[in-house]
Chains A and B, each alone.
Chain A
């Protein structure tokens, strides 16, 4: 572990003057920058870059699944390496890093009215350690034996044995080291996000005036800080097993007629540790998406978010509950069967606050003034895919229903829909929403529309039918399904269709990336507040916000983040830092 150097921290009250940490050279301004906004862009760019690698990997495996036997270079080893790296990159190095390191860094200080994160130096270190983790991970592609092919869950014993690609080579070691680095780096960043929300809120910014984006990222960060140590412990112990020959997870094993040196360990212990991290991880990705999408819907429907208090309580409740549901990933793992009763119950209870959030999003649309902008379209698509993926979660969370479905393509379809497609749609919506603030220019609308329709419909057509392949009993993580009798001829055709859709959706992302780059120069000038939004990041004196965010004086907050279409007010939005009283009747009838 790396420790925060205590003496280095400066309380934010003393850094009201920007001169205290003003960068002096190009290097400290753009590379080794301590400005959260620059760090956010560094995080986002790195996450996107490694995410593109994962996207290409998904194409490769769809090639194999859709057209088995056609592509000789995709050997079973390669296929398992692709799925492993695809999963791990997408979950940890893309989604977690982008939501917390990217959006968290950019939005938290701006939205709570702070000049920067509270520990800027530690924040900078966080990014560089993250970059190192990504590089170590990427280096495993070039290591002897290639990257690990243990599946992203890295279940021992196979993860560290021959018979699994990278198991007795460098692959698994580099993966574990990279994860350990990631966790260290994330902890440094996470401390910043949490303490900034706790301590650096501007005057008048009470917790109940925070935009839900901040609530989502804040709660997710708290969860991540408490959940990642479990992965850390699991990784360190597995590294000991692999490199030093201990037997934490390794039982007595005969492989290919040969007795291995290990003995007595418990593979289930690893699974408990892994999922103790792994389940909160789902909500670490989901909660920021919940928060951001609430703000997108509210802003673009010109209406306050319906049931703000319920939304806050639900975020906190989901965050707390998500720590007592981890074993629903282990119903058929051979753990004590009576755990099933407990974990099925907690899992289905968590559906209630989640459902409330969905209701509140759609009820925000009711009697709104819905502008069908690109961010709004992505938000609507998020609701569709999230409801779909959340409801199939009720199949898998209900212990006995999970028995036939677990480890089939149904699971793959479910988690891609709920924590792949849905959060990514929010990320896209959020990028279209905040890009004007980051660059001062709008993203191109036509390219945005194209990107939206192909991504939304394509992704739905990939993952909705996939559930039914799983329902047929087709297992996941099969390099080829030609020997599997439940896989009918027509299901092979469906698989080919899914693969074609996957290439199409991937192609749309290239258009999106082009849009991102093209619009920096050629986008329409956005002005400071193109969406006419209430929250503080839109009220900065400069766009893009300068170092220190708010010019000479920090804003003072007089109202909650959702004063849209207040009856009697002149405009259909009142910024949070606007003093005075507006509106006649604010109590609901």
Chain B
């Protein structure tokens, strides 16, 4: 459970930082009748949708941290046999990076009001994300063809489970992306479009980060890294 505890510690750090700016030591009964000096404490200047997405990403992060925790705990048992990672995964990673870059470009273009670049970026991002999903399916087929079946070993089970879960999140993101893309073609209000593109970019970057972490986990680097940390500590 150490991974999830570290993750929660980070969340707690954010929460503590935010709370420390909320004057929790103030004596509210002494502050009657005034509002002038406290206006700054009424929520963030960031768009609410971004805060909402941020909270949601924290939940998603929590989910994957828990899968990672379970992975490590199950890995410690004797019947674990790591499976070889297909090469295609590297290609998929590259495609997903491209997808994120495309959205970042779209987001920059949206800020500058270059609608053509926004459309190009959104379309590229959507297509590359789809390509990533197809690539992941290819990986699954390759593994099953080589006999690494879901039930044969817990390492296999975790591989399918975690990549599947990540794929579902990409799929969900594609729904949002397609709506934003439709808006880009149908002349959505510029500020609305910009917000949509920025939210998509945020979500994409996060899922890319999650994917890199998962990749490191499944490839065994994460375990090595933790082993090194443990040795440094003891």
Contacts and interface: CB of A to CB of B under 8 A. Distances in A.
The answer to whether A and B touch directly, with their CB atoms under 8 angstroms apart, is yes
Interface of A: 1-13, 118-119, 187, 190-191, 194-195, 198-209, 222, 225-226, 229-230, 232-233, 236-237, 240, 244-248, 261, 263-266, 269, 272-273, 276, 304, 308-309, 312-313, 316, 320, 323-324, 556-560, 562-563, 579-583, 586-587
Interface string B156-191: 010001000100110011011001100100000000
A563 B29 CA distance: 8
A309 B27 contact: yes
Q: Which 8 A-B pairs have the closest CB atoms?
A: A6-B199, A264-B79, A3-B172, A9-B49, A560-B28, A7-B196, A204-B35, A246-B157
Contacts of B44: 198-199
B29 A558 contact: no
B150 interface: yes
Interface string B30-60: 1111110011011110011101110110111
Contacts of B219: none
A267 to B, nearest CB: 11
16 contacts: A1-B63, A6-B196, A118-B48, A191-B52, A204-B35, A225-B62, A233-B67, A236-B161, A269-B74, A273-B66, A308-B29, A323-B8, A559-B29, A563-B32, A583-B32, A586-B32
Interface in B1-32: 1, 4-5, 8, 11-12, 15, 19, 22-32
A207 B63 contact: no
Contacts, number: 215
B28 A206 contact: yes
A231 to B, nearest CB: 10
Contacts of A244: 150-151
B176 A5 contact: yes
Contacts of A312: 24
Contacts of A245: 150-151
A452 to B, nearest CB: 32
Nearest to B200: A6
A529 to B, nearest CB: 19
Contacts of A273: 66, 70
Candidate in A3, A265, A586, A587 with the most chain B CB atoms within 10 angstroms: A3
B202 to A, nearest CB: 8
Contact of A199 (B19, B22, B51, B60): B51
Given A191-B52, A208-B23, A582 B29 contact: no
B77 interface: yes
Contact of B48 (A199, A222, A269, A313): A199
B151 A187 contact: no
A233 B151 contact: no
B176 A237 contact: no
B153 to A, nearest CB: 9
B78 interface: yes
B175 A5 contact: yes
B211 interface: no
A9 B49 CA distance: 5
A558 B35 contact: yes
Contacts of B154: 246-248, 264-265
Contacts of A10: 49
A240 B59 CA distance: 22
A248 B175 contact: no
Contacts of A13: 48
A252 to B, nearest CB: 9
Nearest to A9: B49
Contacts of A580: 32-33
A195 B55 contact: yes
Given A206-B38, A559-B32, A313 B70 contact: no
A237 B31 CA distance: 52
Chain B contact-residue range equals: 35 or more
Contacts of A560: 28-29, 31-32
Contacts of B73: 266, 269, 272
Contacts of B74: 248, 265-266, 269
Contacts of A11: 47-49
Given A6-B53, A12-B48, A187-B56, A308 B4 contact: no
Contact of B22 (A204, A207, A237, A264): A207
Contacts of A587: 30
A199 B47 CA distance: 9
A152 to B, nearest CB: 20
B24 A207 contact: yes
B215 interface: no
Contact of A201 (B26, B42, B49): B42
Contacts of B56: 3-4, 187, 191
Nearest to A221: B55
Contacts of B140: none
Nearest to B80: A264
B203 interface: yes
B49 A248 contact: no
B67 to A, nearest CB: 6
Given A276-B66, A312-B24, 11 more contacts: A4-B176, A7-B196, A204-B38, A205-B42, A206-B22, A247-B154, A248-B154, A264-B79, A265-B74, A276-B4, A587-B30
Contact of A225 (B27, B59, B169): B59
B32 A558 contact: yes
Contact of A1 (B28, B60, B79): B60
Candidate in B29, B34, B39, B168 with the most chain A CB atoms within 10 angstroms: B29
A316 B73 CA distance: 30
Given A194-B55, A203-B35, A309 B42 contact: no
A40 to B, nearest CB: 19
B91 to A, nearest CB: 25
Contacts of B26: 206, 208
Given A226-B58, A240-B161, A320 B12 contact: yes
B83 to A, nearest CB: 14
A206 B41 contact: yes
A580 B28 CA distance: 15
Contacts of B63: 1, 229, 232-233
A304 B29 contact: yes
Given A206-B23, A556-B35, A119 B52 contact: yes
Given A206-B41, A245-B151, A269 B70 contact: yes
